[in-house]
Structure 1
Amino acid sequence: MEVSCAFPTSLSSPDDIALAEELGYDRAWVYDTPQQSPDVWMTLALAAERTERIGLGPGVLVPSLRHPMVNAAGTATLAALAPGRVSVSFGTGFTGRRAMGYRAITWAFMDSYIRAYRGLLRGEVVEWEGARMQMLHPDGHSPARPVDVPVLVGALGPKGDAVARELGDGLFATLQVPEFMKDHPQAAFLVWGTVLDDDEQIDSDRVRAAGGPGWALAYHGAYEFGGPDAVRALPGGDAWMDTVERTPDGERHLSVHAGHCVELNDADRAAWAAGGHVLLRDATISGTRDEVRRKVEELGAQGVTEIVFQPCGPDTRAELERFLDAARAVATV
C-alpha cells in the first residue's frame, strides 16, 4: 500500500508537499476548490520545483471549472516540470461545485469530458461543444504528444464505476469504500483524522483542531446527500442544523462549506460542543497508533492500494509524522 497525503490547496501547500517528500510520503494530492483555494495548477507547479521524488496531482479536478483544453495544457505543463511523477483525478464536485451553490455534474458529462481530455493529451483532434480542436503546442511549449499520465476517477456508485472502468486507470474515493474498490488495480482512498496519545481525550483542543475538520464532513455530507433530517439524526445534529438555518436558504451552502477541510465553521463548532465529537472515531480514521494501524489494515483488505491522509490543525509536520508512523506499519508488512 502506498501512503500519500492531500492538502486543501493553500499558499503553504508547495512547502507542505516538500515536507511530505522529506518525511517519505509517496504522493501529494491538492484540491481543486477555487472558492477557498489558490489555483491548483499554479500550486502544483511550485511544488514540482521544490521536490524531486514525490508524486504530484490534482485530486480531484472538477470538469465544469475548466475547459478540457485548459486541464490538458495544465497536465502537460506539470508533466514537463515533474516527469514521471504526475497523476490526475477527476470528481463530480462535492465541494468544488456545491460550495458555490451548484449540484454535482452528471456522469454523462464526466464521460464526455474525460474522453475529450484524454484525446487531447494523445494528440488527437477531438470535438467539444460543437467544435473540433487539438493541442497545437510547438516544441518548447509542451511535451510532445502523447502525454501519458494515470487518470483516476472519483466514484462511489455504479455510474461512476462504469466511467472509471472504461476511461480511467483507477479509483479515487472518500467518505465510504465502494464495494467495487477491489475491482480496480489502483484505488486511492482519502481520509482525515489524527493519531491520539494513549490517554488523550477525543474532545481535547488539539484533537478538535487536528481531527475536527475531517469529522465535520459527516455533517456536510449528511446535509448535501440526505438533507436536514439526516443531519438532525446525528449527535449534535440539531445544533448544527439550527446554526445553518440562520442563513437565508439561497446562501445556506456558504455557511455549510465555510472552512471545509481546514477548520470548524460556526455550525461545526456548535455540533462538536453539543456532543457530536463522539463520532470522531467513526467519522474519521482517528484513534491511537494501534487503532489507526488497524483501520489502515482494514482499508487495505477492502481493496485500497493508496491511503491518502490530509493533515489538519496548526502542526502539519506532527500530523504527517504521526500518521506515517502508524500507516507504514501496515504498508511495509
Structure 2
Amino acid sequence: MEVSCAFPTSLSSPDDIALAETLGYDRAWVYDTPQQSPDVWMTLALAAERTDRIGLGPGVLVPSLRHPMVNAAGTATLAALAPGRVAVSFGTGFTGRRAMGYRAITWRFMEDYIRAYRGLLRGEVVEWEGARMRMLHPDGHSPARPVEVPVLVGALGPKGDAVARELGDGLYATLQTPAFMTEYSWAAYLLWGTVLDEGEAVDTERVRAAGGPGWALAYHGGYEFGGPEAVRSLPGGDAWMDVVERASDDERHLAVHAGHCVELNDADRAAWDAGGHVLLDDATISGTRDEVRRKIDDLAGRGVTEIVYQPCGPDTRRELERFLDAARSVAAV
C-alpha cells in the first residue's frame, strides 16, 4: 500500500509537500476548491520546483471549473516540471461546486469531459461545445504529445464506476469504500484523523484542531446527501442545524462549507460542544497508533491500494510524522 498525503490547497502547500517528501510520503494531492484556495496548478508548479521524488497531482479536479483545454495545458505543464511524477484525478464536485451553491455535475458530462481531456493530451483533434480543437503548443511551450499521465476517477456508485473503468487508470474515493474498489489495481482513498497519545481524550483542544475538520465531514456530507433529518440524527446534530438554519436558504451552503477540511465553522463547533465529538472514532481514522494501524489494515482489506491522509491543525509535521509511522507499521507486518 502506498502512503500519500493531501492538502486543502493553501499558500503553505508547496512547503508542506516538500516536508512530506522529506518524511517519505509517496504522493501529494491538493484540492481544486477555488472558493477557498489558491489555484491548484500554480500550487503544484511551486511544489514541483521544491521537490525531486514525491508524486504530484490535483485531487480532485472539478470539470465544470475549467475548459478541458485549460486542464490539459495545466497537466502538460506540470508533467514538464515533474516528469514521471504526475497523476490527475477528477470528481463531480463536492466542496468544489456545492460550496458555491451548485449541485454535482452529471456523469454524462464527466464522461465527455475526460474523453476530450485525454484526447487533447494524446495530441488528437477533439470536439467540445460544438468546436474542433487540439493542443497547438510549439516546442518549448509544452511537452510533445502524447503526454502520458494516469487519470483517477472519484466514483462511489455504478455510473462513476463505469466511467472509471472505461476512461480512467484507477479509482479515487473518500467517505465510502464501494464494493467494486477491490476490482481496481489502483484505488486511492482520501481520509482524515489524528493519532492520539496513549490515554489522550478525544475532546481536547489539540484533537479538535487536528481531527475536527475531518470529523465535520459527517455533518457536511450528511446535510448535502441526506438533508436536515440526516444531520439531526447525529450526536450534536440539532445544534449544528440550529446554526446553519440561521442563514437564508440562498446562502445556507456558505454556512455549511465554511472552513471545509481546514477548520471548524460555527455550526461544527456547536455540534462538537454538544457532544458530537463522540463520533470522531467512527467518522475519521483516529485513535492510538495501534488503533490507526488496524483501521488502515482494514482499508487494505477493502481494496485500498493508496491511502491519502490529510493532516489538520497547527502542527502539520506532527500529524504527518505520527500518521506515517502508524501506516508504515502496517506495511512492515
Q: CA RMSD in A?
A: 0.4
Amino acid of the residue matched to residue 183 of structure 2? Answer: D
Q: Please show how residues 276-295 of structure 1 align to structure 2 within 5 Å.
A: 276-295=276-295
Offset, 1:134: 0.2
Whether the 8 Å CA contact 1:213–1:260 is kept in 2: the answer is: yes
Give the match for residue 317 of structure 2.
Answer: 317
Map Cα deviations across residues 114-169 of structure 1 (whole Å, 9 max, x no partner). Answer: 00000000000000000000000000000000000110000000000000000000
Give the match for residue 269 of structure 2.
Answer: 269
Give the match for residue 102 of structure 1.
Answer: 102
Amino acid of the residue matched to residue 322 of structure 1? Answer: R
- Does 2:2 align with 1:24? no
Q: Please show how residues 139-218 of structure 1 align to structure 2 within 5 Å.
A: 139-218=139-218
**Counterpart Cα distance in 1 of 2:115 and 2:226:** 31
Give the match for residue 14 of structure 2.
Answer: 14
**Counterpart Cα distance in 2 of 1:332 and 1:13:** 29
Whether the 8 Å CA contact 1:247–1:255 is kept in 2: the answer is: yes
Offset, 1:330: 1.1
Amino acid of the residue matched to residue 285 of structure 1? Answer: I
For 2:271, what is the secondary structure of its paired residue? helix
Give the match for residue 70 of structure 1.
Answer: 70
**Counterpart Cα distance in 2 of 1:158 and 1:198:** 41
**Counterpart Cα distance in 2 of 1:36 and 1:181:** 30
Whether the 8 Å CA contact 1:3–1:331 is kept in 2: the answer is: no
For 2:89, what is the secondary structure of its paired residue? strand
**Counterpart Cα distance in 1 of 2:332 and 2:37:** 34
Whether the 8 Å CA contact 1:151–1:169 is kept in 2: the answer is: yes
Offset, 1:331: 2.4
**Counterpart Cα distance in 1 of 2:192 and 2:114:** 28
Offset, 1:198: 1.1
Q: Please show how residues 211-230 of structure 1 align to structure 2 within 5 Å.
A: 211-230=211-230
**Counterpart Cα distance in 1 of 2:89 and 2:325:** 26
Q: Please show how residues 228-307 of structure 1 align to structure 2 within 5 Å.
A: 228-307=228-307
For 1:60, what is the secondary structure of its paired residue? coil
In the alignment, structure 2 segments of 5+ residues that lack a partner are none
In the alignment, structure 1 segments of 5+ residues that lack a partner are none
Offset, 1:55: 0.1
Give the match for residue 134 of structure 1.
Answer: 134
Amino acid of the residue matched to residue 229 of structure 2? Answer: D
Q: Size of the alignment, in residue pairs? A: 333
Structure 1 runs (4+) greater than 6 angstroms displaced: none
Give the match for residue 84 of structure 1.
Answer: 84
For 1:97, what is the secondary structure of its paired residue? helix
Offset, 1:332: 3.3
Amino acid of the residue matched to residue 323 of structure 2? Answer: F
Offset, 1:93: 0.3
Amino acid of the residue matched to residue 127 of structure 1? Answer: E
Give the match for residue 3 of structure 2.
Answer: 3
Map Cα deviations across residues 6-32 of structure 1 (whole Å, 9 max, x no partner). Answer: 000000000000000000000000000
Offset, 1:2: 0.2
**Counterpart Cα distance in 2 of 1:210 and 1:331:** 24
**Counterpart Cα distance in 1 of 2:156 and 2:332:** 28
